[in-house]
Amino acid sequence: MAKKIILITGGLGYLGGRAALAFSKNPDYSLRLGAHSTDDRSYPRWVRDNSLDVVKIDVSSKKTLNSACKGVDFVIHLASLNEVDSFADPQKAFLINTLGTLNLIEAAQNAGVKRIIYLSTIHVYGAPLSGTITEETVPCPRHAYAVTHRAAEDFVVAAGFERKLPGIILRPANGFGVPADPFINRWKLIVNDLCRQAVTTQKLILNSSGLQSRNFITLTDIIRAIEYTLFIPMDKCSNGIFNVGEAKSTSVFELAEIIAGRCKEILGFIPPIKRQQAQKNEVMQKLDYRSDKLKATGFSLLSNFNEEIDATLRFCKKYFKNGK
């Protein structure tokens, strides 16, 4: 059986890197990673060690997209401007996150790609997130990162309805996990930040009361959901939109307590947790992020929280033990 050729846009990024490492272990796949540069001297070591194919992609350039999609069976679209940069430059976020997705869809259609998996975000539902959220909940994006992803979703759905390109949209909750390399700039994400703090300062400092409710999910489970939806029959997918989150949400403080407990196992000590005093009348707003629609198709989570936290702590110990 011929290998399935998979293009991962943003393949050198946080989720993209982890996805590439996971997919590279399957002999049935041939990977093509989209990146801004094809200068192999700047590639992270894991790319060179696994001899992965990297192609130049500029989502504003139809030429690079057409070339990248040529001969591809599936596209996993992860390339986007992150939250911080989207807040800083909404117009750039629109050009990359929304119009860039449309350009990619058109290139994939021209190339005869069989399916596209688009990674959106839980934040399309609004902010702050609370209450029960299902795929039937009306999106209400409040900032550029969420707005541009929500608009990109519509292009994916439209392509599917027009029978030009089947598409799946995944709305993952707050993904966390060890990155493929230490230079990926995602160390402000709460889990990664706390794990790094534990190694470098031997304490965990929260910039809030920690009462905020969040739905955290491991990168391992997000990647498993991506692979699963590559092959799920489209007649089981309704409009193709799926939430991807844990069955139970937790507060940021409870998360810090979990990480502190894992520190004892991995680092040999329990770091103290320091947090700000709760504001007057501040209470934790419960969040119930439902992934029942995806689970109903036969998908199940590993929910390997401890494994992912342990791996992140070990990673931080290896790369940041000198306090850097």
Residue 40 binned pLDDT confidence (cut-offs 50, 70, 90): low
Q: Is residue 292 part of a domain?
A: no
Q: Dig out the tokens for 26 from the structure.
A: 């399957």
Q: Is residue 294 part of a domain?
A: no
Is 196 found in the same domain as 309? Answer: yes
Is 269 found in the same domain as 126? Answer: no
Q: Is residue 149 part of a domain?
A: yes
- Say if residue 324's pLDDT is above 60: no
Mean pLDDT of 248-255: 94
- Say if residue 322's pLDDT is above 90: no
Main-chain phi, psi angles of 11, to 5 degrees: -70, -10
CATH number (domain holding residue 170): 3.40.50.720
- Say if residue 263's pLDDT is above 60: yes
H or E element: which one contains 242? strand 241-244
pLDDT, position 47: 87
Mean pLDDT of 246-260: 95
Task: Give the sheet arrangement for strand 115-119, strand by strand.
Answer: 53-56, 29-35, 4-9, 74-77, 115-119, 167-172, 241-244
How deeply is 114 buried, as exposed, middle or buried, from its count of CB atoms within 10 A (0-12, 13-18, 19+)? middle
Q: Is residue 122 part of a domain?
A: yes
Q: How many domains does the chain have?
A: 2
pLDDT, position 39: 67
Is 132 found in the same domain as 35? Answer: yes
pLDDT, position 150: 98
136-165: pLDDT as tens digits:
999 999 999 999 999 999 999 999 988 789
Residue 38 binned pLDDT confidence (cut-offs 50, 70, 90): low
Structural Rg of the chain based on CA atoms = 20
pLDDT, position 198: 97
Mean pLDDT of the chain, nearest integer: 93
Mean pLDDT of 132-139: 97
Q: Is residue 293 part of a domain?
A: no
CA–CA distance from 134 to each of 152, 168, 207, 244 (Å)?
19, 16, 29, 10
Residue 314 binned pLDDT confidence (cut-offs 50, 70, 90): very high
pLDDT, position 243: 98
Is 279 found in the same domain as 227? Answer: no
Q: Dig out the tokens for 177 from the structure.
A: 């996990």
Enumerate the H helices of the chain as residue ranges: 14-23, 45-49, 62-69, 83-88, 90-93, 100-111, 144-161, 190-201, 219-231, 252-266, 292-295, 305-320
Is 122 found in the same domain as 103? Answer: yes
Is 170 found in the same domain as 21? Answer: yes
Is 119 found in the same domain as 13? Answer: yes
pLDDT, position 140: 96
187-217: pLDDT as tens digits:
999 999 999 999 999 999 999 999 999 999 9
- Residue 131, strand partner residues: 287
pLDDT, position 48: 83
Is 28 found in the same domain as 149? Answer: yes
Mean pLDDT of 175-190: 91
- Say if residue 49's pLDDT is above 60: yes
Is 196 found in the same domain as 167? Answer: no
pLDDT, position 43: 81
Q: Is residue 295 part of a domain?
A: no
Q: Please state which of the ranges 38-52, 176-190, 243-257, 263-277 shows the lowest mean pLDDT.
A: 38-52
pLDDT, position 98: 97
Is 164 found in the same domain as 115? Answer: yes
Residues 28, 2: contact at Cβ < 8 Å? no
pLDDT, position 133: 97
Mean pLDDT of 109-136: 96
- Say if residue 311's pLDDT is above 80: yes
How deeply is 268 buried, as exposed, middle or buried, from its count of CB atoms within 10 A (0-12, 13-18, 19+)? exposed
DSSP letter at 34 equals E
Looking at 193, 224, 244, which one is the last position of a domain? Answer: 244
Residue 185 binned pLDDT confidence (cut-offs 50, 70, 90): confident
Is 142 found in the same domain as 64? Answer: yes
Q: Dig out the tokens for 318 from the structure.
A: 């290896």
The amino acid present at 205, given as its one-letter code, is I
- Say if residue 63's pLDDT is above 80: yes
Q: Is residue 81 part of a domain?
A: yes
Residue 285 binned pLDDT confidence (cut-offs 50, 70, 90): confident
Q: Is residue 296 part of a domain?
A: no
Is 95 found in the same domain as 48? Answer: yes
Residue 281 binned pLDDT confidence (cut-offs 50, 70, 90): confident
160 vs 177: CA distance, rounded Å: 32
Range of the domain at 206: 182-214+250-287+304-320
DSSP letter at 133 equals E
Q: Dig out the tokens for 190 from the structure.
A: 């709460």
- State what percent of residues in the chain have pLDDT above 90: 82
CATH number (domain holding residue 267): 3.90.25.10
